[in-house]
Structure formats: structure tokens, C-alpha cells
Amino acid sequence: MINRQTIANSRRWVVKIGSALLTDDGRGLNHTAIAHWVAELALLRQQGVEIIMVSSGAVAEGMSRLGWKRRPAAIYELQAAAAVGQMGLVQAYESAFAQYGLKTAQILLTHDDLSNRARYLNARSTLNTLVQLGVVPIINENDTVVTDEIRFGDNDTLGALVANLIEADLLLILTDQQGMFDADPRKNEGAQLLNEVMANDPQLTLMAGSSGGALGRGGMATKLQAARLAARSGSATLIASGRNDRIFTAIRAAELVGTLFIPDKDPLLSRKQWLAGHLRLRGKVILDDGAVKVLSQAGRSLLAVGVTAVEGNFQRGEMVACVDRQGCEVARGLVNYSAEEARKIAGQPSSGIEAILGYVDEPELIHRDNLVLV
């Protein structure tokens, strides 16, 4: 069972630091804070902890350098700010880590990099190689080229996907809050900090709320979503305050800081991790009650006979969501037939596919090896 002590002794950490912390609430990069965090991280490296950083701050730093007071809505302006800010962000990390003899590497990712199977494996190999070489990867979303269709949405989600990618023991999300509370502490003085919770506890959704800060895109709701995503590969998540001067030391000492989200399922196989984190859905298939039961309880493949309707315009090999009659997502997977073909064979037994289409690619609409429950 994962607890504070197992986290303290864990080997591989993904550390995500948010924009409000890195940019001193929008006043430019907080070099003093960065130097302090890096000093603690360097000590962890000496103790054998592998560190992979997911850093926000490029857009916010770019806004500061450009003299912008408000985060722009236009994507080309965000991309321009990211391009300007990325320069200062990387320089700050490189200079800080170099004081301790540690090399850094910049990794810019888009969702395409983790949704394409070949590029997913390439990213995984590169990151593992960098860690083995003793290099500290600094990962950010590639805001300069990303579009609304393929963006992660926030670096909390990116951190969780990286944790899945490299099978991290811990996803540490540093924020300007002490952790997750049972109510919004800004509105409720009686709100209580949650110390340890199960990541998939449904009651947490109502507690998380939905709002984020002016600089970042992610509030507590996205951090909860990230914790649940990380839990799919067996990674624990700790949400804690980056304003704690000794936060890394405290975690290493198993002190009661922040909110620890404990995964309640065994780690998925690496391919299943990739599928679970594959956020770029191309369509939906609506299942009857029997198919929902077969998928969720028996772990079997999805057959066309269990599909009542098809939405979207997907092609063979693309990702689709499997939803029940109420629209709740049950699973997602790589489909063996296009949307047009799936509509024709929906509700039909596998033995009838050839008569309908004139050929059979696979007897299953989605094979269980290409399907993951959500």
C-alpha cells in the first residue's frame, strides 16, 4: 500500500511547478524561488532520486517580457508569448542546475507526440535515456506550435501523462495552495485540508470546484483529474505548496504535507497506459447494457453486436470513446473499422460482417488488447 513512507523512499519523481509560483504571480520569473527549488532538487539527485520536471511559466514569462497585463485569448498571441518566455525559462533552469554540476535538457511536447504510438515510444526512450545519463529533463507543452485541437489543456495533465509515460513513482504538483481542501478555502474559513485520499473517490469531484488562476489554465479540478490519470499507471500524486521553503525535504522525510492521492488499481501495461492517456478522441460508439457489462466486468473485446449507434467521422486505427446509453464513458480504444463501416455493422453479429461489408478486417470492433476501461 502506498503511504507517506513509500513516497519518501520512491525513486522517480515528476515535479510540476505552476505559473503563479514560477513567475511570482505574473511579475516575471522568480529566480530566487527557482534557485531554492533547484538546490533542494540537487540534494535529492545526490540521494538517488530521479527528477523529471514539468514546468509552466513560458507564457507568463513572455507576457511579462512583452509588458502584457492580461493573458491573451488569441492563440497566436499565446504562441508568441510562449516563444519569448521559453528563452528565459530555459536559461533560468540551466543556470540554476549548472551550479550543482547537473545538466538539463529541454523537451517540448504536443498531444500528437503522446497520441501517436511511435512518437510515444520515442519520447519514452529519450526521457529514460536522459534520466540514465543523469540529466534533468525540463518538459513543457510546445505552446508555440500547438493548436486548440491538440493542446493538453494544462500542465497538470501533461505532468500526469509524463508520469504514465515513464512509470514515475510520484507526480508532485506544486501550487500556491497547501493542497486540496474539502471546500474552497478562499470562500470557506472552515475548509479542512485533505491529507490522504484515494484518487478515484467520487466525492472529490464536488470538492475540487472548477476555477483556475489568471495566469494558468488549471485549477484544483484539473489537478484532481491529473491525479486520477497518473493513478492509472500506479503513480501516486501529491499536491502541495511550492511556497513551503523545504517542501522537497519535507516529502523526503515523510512529513504530513499537502494532499496525497493514492492509486487504488494495479498499474496498467504500458500499452494500456498509452491508451488511457490518449485524449484525442475521434468519435463515440454507444453501447447497449450487455456490452457495457461485458467490457466493464469480463474484460472482453467490443463486438459490433453490442453497439447501438455511432458518432463522429473516424478511420480505422483511431481512438473512440465507448459510452453507455446515458452518455457516460465506459472505455476507449482503437477501432478496427471506420465510422461509415461501424454504422453499417452496428448491432450485427460478427458472423454477418462479411455479408454486410464484403470483407472482414477483424471479428471485433475493438480488440481487448487495444481497449482500456476509464
Kindly report the CATH number assigned to the domain that includes residue 307: 2.30.130.10
Domain of residue 299 covers 281-373
Same domain flag for 234 and 302: no
In terms of pTM, does the model score above 0.75?
Answer: yes
Same domain flag for 268 and 303: no
Same domain flag for 107 and 255: yes
CA distances from 206 to 53, 210, 232, 238 (A): 29, 9, 21, 19
Same domain flag for 263 and 303: no
Same domain flag for 191 and 327: no
Same domain flag for 268 and 288: no
pLDDT tens across the length of the chain (374 residues): 789 999 999 999 999 998 888 887 667 789 999 999 999 999 999 999 999 999 988 888 898 899 998 888 888 888 898 899 999 999 999 999 999 999 999 999 887 788 777 788 889 999 999 999 999 999 988 866 765 544 555 789 999 999 999 989 999 999 988 999 988 887 888 889 999 999 999 899 888 875 444 434 457 888 999 999 999 888 999 999 999 999 999 999 999 999 999 998 777 776 777 777 766 889 999 999 999 999 988 889 999 999 999 999 998 988 999 999 999 999 999 999 999 999 999 999 999 999 999 999 889 999 998 899 88
What is the number of structural domains in the chain? Answer: 2
Q: Which residue, 246, 273, 300, sits at the end of a domain?
A: 273
Same domain flag for 58 and 183: yes
Same domain flag for 293 and 256: no
Kindly report the CATH number assigned to the domain that includes residue 69: 3.40.1160.10
Same domain flag for 267 and 339: no
Same domain flag for 298 and 248: no
Q: Which residue, 249, 273, 297, sits at the end of a domain?
A: 273
Same domain flag for 18 and 144: yes
Same domain flag for 313 and 343: yes
Q: Which residue, 238, 273, 308, sits at the end of a domain?
A: 273
